[in-house]
């Protein structure tokens, strides 16, 4: 019954794994978009000309599923205006010109956390979102009301994407914070089982985690196979606690809460200092980058500033994206800002960026064998081409997490993930229309 | 800075391409190409060359006439040519080999939309077409004839109307069958080199074990039950999978991606289906060999097997 999930062996390229994060100089300005999380965009509470300090609230959560935003530099607000986000949507963004001083906001004090409610309030006020990439507001995830629903917390230290090592650095450099984070979960959420999943290609991180939590009986360190995508939520839950999250349900419905290891460390840090989420450790790498390394970046810093700090480009970049190469979001130019929920920026040279030419599908079935969720991407492609909505629904294209395994293995270089994205959107539209007709 | 390329993830692809897969299949076929020439003489090599050339050329010309992009670079026509030649007797007139090749590529593959769109295996369907069209020449199984290795002349080749081991099972030892030292189509007799090619494809993960094992294993087990009285049951069953087109079919033709199922369970069902149909034809039909028909029938069933064995999505709930 408990059979293994598939995946693909991607190259690791963890060139920066041994490099502790370096703080970059204060950027001249930052542009902070209001949609750095899943849910309602945040609502700006500052206006043009306002003086702001580091950690000062500049935007409130736009709804229950939302997160507040804080200034990452001290200086003056120069504009609150719409910008085009990486997903093509228009979103408002706050631009702050830095005074270079990084003066901390004087109202910042460590939060008073005494019980469940004050813990959730603190997490909400910290601006925390899922730092592994998804950006789901952490307070919403932890606000389970009835803490007995949480049977296990899974800490995601898989970091399965090539290049990225920022979580690796968290586990190595911030192990104590993670320990404190687990104590918070124990005290205020009544958590009594924690599994930390780490891919085996990070032996140092595994060892440090084992040492850190040696005295902590509720924590289990789970070395995971180096098989992408171990860090995919459903895959991680399956491999760490052996549970399957049913279609349309949340991990909490099977008693599981998943937190990224960096999110956990951040919550602990916030509980100690009260400094909200204003900076992020990101991995800067790729064939174009002169000096790949891990960098502590104020949120909203332009990618170009970060690349410049890393010695600029040794080769002209042809593709630049947020995150890793398997699921990363490519950006039109390097003025795009660093967001809360990104863990890497990668710049590829012309040879690596070249788009493969698709050839006919030879029905080899590699996409089927590779899919960790046991879907059949070749059928999605066929169904999309023929507008067969019933087949799309039957084959569950809606479950696709767009991990990229199918496209990666396809010998015909077909754009399968692109197909799946289109098919998901089309099926959603079709189903909402037909359901609307029935009601 | 020039414009950056924008695209949907992933921004990294594996190294395997269709052309590399076809190249691996060609490499896997080469030992048998050599064996066929050693066993049947240089004319076998000539037949292979003719079929490959005719297949590639007909695909090229078809694309030209239809104003389609040139597709011969994927090397699939080369694979079809070699496998088709393997299915021919050494004495077959060259022009008939050309007709068969054109049929395989143009009718079975290109008219259905080219690589990936054909529902039946081109080489195998062409073989069946040739059996019907050139029945006499196609059943002239040449005897192994190393004595006149360099003979390209039909008349000089010693064309005793020979019996294949399938027709007269007692005439051949297992070792003869394994090494291919007996009459038959040029590429089907040498089990040794076919197995070598199969192992190469398995190691390179071009094919999985499911179809060949289900096909040959199924045929072996079924044959245990029909051994003639007095014969050694195991020897008989072994000779059944070593003779005729079973090895060639199970390793190289039934595993054709386009025309076989893409799920593991589907592949097992496909292989077993081939075994059962081959077994039925060999034992109770008028034809002596059933490998081609069995694979063709299973080709036709492939879309249904795919539907029937569709993978169960992780956490998926049944649609209403």
pLDDT tens per residue across span A289-312: 999 999 999 999 999 999 999 999
Residue A273 burial (C-beta neighbours within 10 Å; 0-12, 13-18, 19+): middle
Looking at residue A427, what is its pLDDT?
A: 95
Same domain as A418, residue A288: no
Round to whole Å and give the CA distance between A166 and B160. 75
Scanning A383-402 for CB atoms below 8 A from B yields 393-396, 399, 402
Q: Is A13 on the interface with B (CB under 8 A)?
A: no
Half-sphere exposure of B307 (CA within 13 A, CB side): 9
Same domain as A401, residue A256: no
Neighbouring CB atoms inside 10 A of B193's CB total: 24
Token reading at A221: 């360190």
Low-confidence ranges of chain B (pLDDT < 50): 154-163
Alpha-carbon Rg for chain B in angstroms: 21
A248, pLDDT greater than 50: yes
Residue of B nearest to A393 (CA): B319
Looking at residue B113, what is its pLDDT?
A: 94
Please enumerate residues of B whose Cβ is less than 8 A from a Cβ of A: 1-14, 16-18, 20-21, 71, 74, 76, 114-117, 257-258, 261-264, 306, 310-317, 319
- The answer as to whether A239 is a domain residue is yes
Scanning A218-277 for CB atoms below 8 A from B yields 234, 238, 244-249
- The answer as to whether B316 is a domain residue is no
* Tokens 């830095």 sit on residue: A98
- The answer as to whether B102 is a domain residue is yes
Same domain as A273, residue A388: no
Looking at residue A1, what is its pLDDT?
A: 45
Enter the pTM of the model.
Answer: 0.92
Measure A412 CA to nearest chain B CA, in Å: 6
Same domain as A424, residue A285: no
- The answer as to whether A293 is a domain residue is yes
A87, pLDDT greater than 80: no
Domain count, chain A: 2
- DSSP states of B134-203: THHHHT-PPPP-GGGTT---TTTS----PPPTTTSGGGS-HHHHHHT-SSS-TTTS-HHHHHHHHHHHHH
Whether residues A355 and B5 touch (CB distance < 8 A) is answered with yes
- The answer as to whether B6 is a domain residue is no
Looking at residue B158, what is its pLDDT?
A: 44
Q: From residue A108, how far is each of A71, B50, B79 by CA, in Å?
A: 12, 83, 71
**CATH number assigned to the domain comprising residue B179:** 1.10.3430
Q: Is the dihedral of CA B257, B259, B260, B263 positive or negative?
A: positive
Mean pLDDT computed over A58-70: 95
DSSP state of A137: B
Residue numbers in B near A416 (CB within 8 A): none
A419, pLDDT greater than 60: yes
- The answer as to whether B320 is a domain residue is no
Token reading at A406: 């199918």
Looking at residue B144, what is its pLDDT?
A: 74
Same domain as A390, residue A241: no
Q: Which domain holds residue B176?
A: 18-308
Q: Is A5 on the interface with B (CB under 8 A)?
A: yes
Round to whole Å and give the CA distance between B173 and B176. 5
Round to whole Å and give the CA distance between A276 and A267. 9
Q: Which domain holds residue A424?
A: 366-438
pLDDT in tens, A190-225: 999 999 999 999 999 999 999 999 999 999 999 999
Q: Which of A244, A373, A393 sits opposite B319 (nearest CB)?
A: A393
Same domain as A249, residue A143: yes
Looking at residue B170, what is its pLDDT?
A: 56
Q: Which of A246, A332, A421 sits opposite B4 (nearest CB)?
A: A332
- The answer as to whether B275 is a domain residue is yes
- CA–chain centroid gap for B17, Å, is 21
- DSSP states of A190-222: ----EEEEEETT-HHHHHHHHHHTTT-TTEEEE
Measure B262 CA to nearest chain A CA, in Å: 5
Q: From residue A419, how far is each of A25, A164, A270, B17, B230 by CA, in Å?
A: 42, 26, 41, 19, 61
Q: Give B192's contacts (C-beta < 8 A, 6+ positions apart).
A: B35, B178, B179, B180
Looking at residue B307, what is its pLDDT?
A: 94
- The answer as to whether A80 is a domain residue is no
Same domain as A372, residue A350: no
pLDDT in tens, B273-307: 999 999 999 999 887 778 999 999 999 999 999 99
Round to whole Å and give the CA distance between B288 and B184. 12
Domain count, chain B: 1
Measure A320 CA to nearest chain B CA, in Å: 7
Pick the last residue of a domain from A354, A388, A407.
A354
- The answer as to whether B131 is a domain residue is yes
Q: Where is A277: in which H helix or E strand?
A: none
- The answer as to whether A251 is a domain residue is yes
Q: Could you give the 3-state DSSP secondary structure of residue A8?
A: strand
Scanning A131-190 for CB atoms below 8 A from B yields 162
- The answer as to whether A163 is a domain residue is yes
Contact yes or no for A135/A341 (Cβ under 8 A) = yes
Contact yes or no for B166/B244 (Cβ under 8 A) = yes
Pick the last residue of a domain from A334, A354, A374.
A354
- The answer as to whether B109 is a domain residue is yes
Query: Across the strands, what pairs with A289?
Result: A313
Angle between helices A175-189 and A116-125 (to 10 degrees): 140
Phi-psi region of A400 (alpha: psi -120 to 50; beta: other; left: phi over 0): beta
Question: Which among A119, A74, A78 is positioned nearest to A98, based on CA atoms?
Answer: A74
For chains A and B, count residue pairs whose Cβ atoms are closer than 8 Å.
Answer: 165
Mean pLDDT computed over A428-436: 84
Residue A51 burial (C-beta neighbours within 10 Å; 0-12, 13-18, 19+): middle
- The answer as to whether A213 is a domain residue is yes
- The answer as to whether A30 is a domain residue is no
Token reading at B175: 């070792």
Question: Which among A120, A167, A142 is positioned nearest to A280, based on CA atoms?
Answer: A167
Q: Where is A30: in which H helix or E strand?
A: strand A29-33
Same domain as A320, residue A389: no
Q: Is A416 on the interface with B (CB under 8 A)?
A: no
Looking at residue A23, what is its pLDDT?
A: 97
Same domain as A330, residue A231: yes
Round to whole Å and give the CA distance between B192 and B36. 12
Q: Is the dihedral of CA A324, A326, A328, A334 positive or negative?
A: positive
Whether residues B262 and A317 touch (CB distance < 8 A) is answered with no
Question: Which among B242, B222, B245, B243 is positioned nearest to B295, based on CA atoms?
Answer: B245
Looking at residue B287, what is its pLDDT?
A: 75
Round to whole Å and give the CA distance between A71 and A85. 19
Contact yes or no for A140/A117 (Cβ under 8 A) = no
Pick the last residue of a domain from A290, A319, A354.
A354
- The answer as to whether A265 is a domain residue is yes
A437, pLDDT greater than 50: no
Residue B244 burial (C-beta neighbours within 10 Å; 0-12, 13-18, 19+): buried
Question: Which among B286, B252, B263, B179 is positioned nearest to B274, based on CA atoms?
Answer: B252
- The answer as to whether B313 is a domain residue is no
Mean pLDDT of chain A: 95
């Amino acid at each position: 019954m408990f059979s293994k999930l598939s995946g693909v062996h991607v190259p690791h390229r963890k060139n920066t794994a041994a490099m502790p994060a370096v703080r970059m100089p204060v950027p001249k300005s930052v542009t902070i978009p209001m949609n750095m999380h899943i849910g309602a965009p945040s609502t700006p509470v500052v206006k043009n000309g306002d003086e702001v300090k580091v950690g000062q609230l500049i935007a409130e959560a736009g709804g229950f599923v939302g997160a507040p935003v804080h200034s990452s530099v001290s200086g003056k607000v120069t504009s609150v205006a719409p910008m085009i986000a990486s997903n093509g949507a228009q979103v408002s963004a706050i631009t702050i010109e830095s005074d270079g001083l990084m003066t901390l906001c004087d109202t910042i004090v460590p939060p008073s956390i005494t019980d469940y409610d004050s813990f959730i309030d603190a997490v909400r006020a910290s601006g925390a979102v899922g730092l592994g990439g998804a950006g789901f507001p952490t307070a919403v995830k932890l606000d389970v009301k009835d803490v007995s629903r949480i049977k296990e917390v899974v800490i995601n230290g898989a970091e399965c994407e090539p290049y990225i090592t920022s979580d690796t650095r968290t586990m190595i450099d911030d192990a104590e914070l993670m320990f404190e984070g687990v104590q918070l979960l124990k005290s205020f959420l009544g958590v009594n089982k924690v599994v930390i999943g780490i891919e085996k290609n990070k032996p140092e991180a595994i060892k440090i985690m084992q040492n850190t939590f040696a005295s902590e009986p509720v924590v289990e360190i789970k070395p995971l196979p180096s098989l992408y995508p171990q860090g995919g939520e459903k895959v991680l839950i399956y491999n760490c606690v052996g549970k399957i999250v049913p279609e349309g349900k949340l991990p909490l419905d099977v008693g599981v809460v998943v937190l990224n290891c960096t999110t956990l460390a951040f919550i602990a840090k916030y509980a100690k200092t009260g400094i909200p989420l204003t900076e992020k450790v990101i991995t800067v790498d790729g064939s174009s980058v002169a000096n790949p390394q891990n960098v502590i970046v104020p949120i909203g810093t332009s990618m170009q500033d970060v690349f410049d700090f890393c010695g600029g480009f040794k080769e002209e970049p042809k593709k630049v994206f947020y995150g890793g190469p398997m699921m990363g979001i490519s950006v039109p130019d390097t003025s795009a800002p660093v967001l809360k929920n990104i863990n890497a920026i990668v710049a590829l040279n012309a040879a690596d960026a070249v788009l493969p030419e698709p050839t006919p599908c030879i029905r080899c079935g590699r996409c089927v064998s590779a899919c960790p969720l046991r879907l059949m991407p070749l059928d999605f492609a066929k169904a999309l081409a023929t507008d067969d909505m019933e087949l799309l629904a039957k084959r569950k294209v809606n479950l696709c997490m767009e991990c990229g395994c199918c496209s990666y293995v396809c010998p015909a270089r077909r754009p399968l993930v692109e197909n799946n994205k289109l098919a998901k959107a089309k099926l959603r539209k079709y189903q909402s229309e037909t359901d609307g007709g029935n009601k | 800075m020039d414009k950056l390329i924008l695209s949907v993830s992933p921004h990294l692809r594996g190294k395997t391409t269709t052309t590399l897969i076809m190249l691996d299949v060609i490499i896997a076929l080469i030992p048998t190409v050599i064996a066929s020439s050693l066993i049947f003489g240089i004319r076998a090599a000539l037949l292979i060359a003719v079929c490959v050339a005719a297949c590639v050329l007909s695909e090229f010309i078809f694309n030209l006439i239809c104003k389609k992009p040139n597709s011969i670079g994927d090397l699939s026509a080369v694979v079809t040519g070699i496998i088709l030649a393997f299915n021919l007797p050494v004495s077959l007139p060259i022009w008939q080999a050309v007709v068969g090749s054109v049929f395989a590529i143009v009718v079975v593959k290109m008219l259905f939309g080219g690589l990936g769109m054909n529902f039946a295996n081109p080489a195998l369907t062409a073989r069946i077409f040739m059996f019907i069209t050139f029945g006499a020449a196609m059943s002239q199984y040449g005897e192994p004839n190393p004595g006149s290795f360099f003979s390209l002349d039909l008349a000089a080749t010693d064309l005793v109307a020979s019996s294949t081991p399938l027709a007269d099972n007692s005439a051949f030892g297992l070792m003869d069958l394994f090494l291919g030292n007996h009459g038959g189509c040029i590429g089907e007799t040498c089990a040794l080199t076919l197995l070598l090619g199969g192992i190469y494809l398995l190691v390179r993960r071009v094919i999985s074990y499911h179809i060949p094992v289900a096909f040959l294993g199924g045929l072996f087990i079924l044959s245990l039950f029909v051994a003639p009285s007095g014969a050694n049951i195991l020897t008989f069953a072994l000779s059944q999978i070593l003779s005729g087109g079973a090895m060639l079919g199970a390793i190289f033709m039934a595993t054709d991606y386009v025309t076989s199922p893409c799920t593991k369970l589907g592949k097992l069902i496909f292989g077993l289906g081939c075994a059962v149909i081959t077994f039925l034809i060999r034992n109770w039909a008028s034809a002596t060999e059933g490998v081609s028909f069995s694979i063709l029938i299973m080709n036709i069933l492939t879309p249904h097997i795919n539907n029937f064995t569709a993978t169960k999505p992780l956490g998926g709930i049944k649609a209403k």
